[in-house]
Amino acid sequence: MYFGQEEAPGYYGLRSKYIPTTPDILQREPMDCFAAISVTLLHGFYVPPGHYAWLLQREPVAKIGYSIYVYDFRKQH
């Protein structure tokens, strides 16, 4: 999900998909990617409470500034 005032990710040549929400997590297809999410959304601002609760149980692999968390969902080989 893109949240912000800058150009959407496609403008920069990035492919993007929505990160599954907590209610959708059981039906989601396996992800093989990195995912970045705004801490604002992660903690339930502008979305229903608990919307991304499943991500809060994971440790981000990187933090960009203080506002973006990056998760690694690549398949482990």
75 in a domain, yes or no?
yes
Which H or E run includes 35?
strand 34-38
Residue 20 forms part of a structural domain: no
Q: Is 3 inside a domain boundary?
A: no
In a domain, 26, yes or no: no
Tokens of 29: 């297809």
Q: Closest by alpha carbon to 37, among 15, 64, 5?
A: 64
Q: With respect to residue 46, please indicate whether it lies within any of the assigned structural domains.
A: yes
Total domain count for the chain?
1
Farthest CA pair distance, the chain: 37
pLDDT tens-place values along the chain, 77 residues long: 455 556 677 787 877 777 878 766 666 667 788 888 889 889 888 888 888 888 888 999 999 998 999 999 887 54
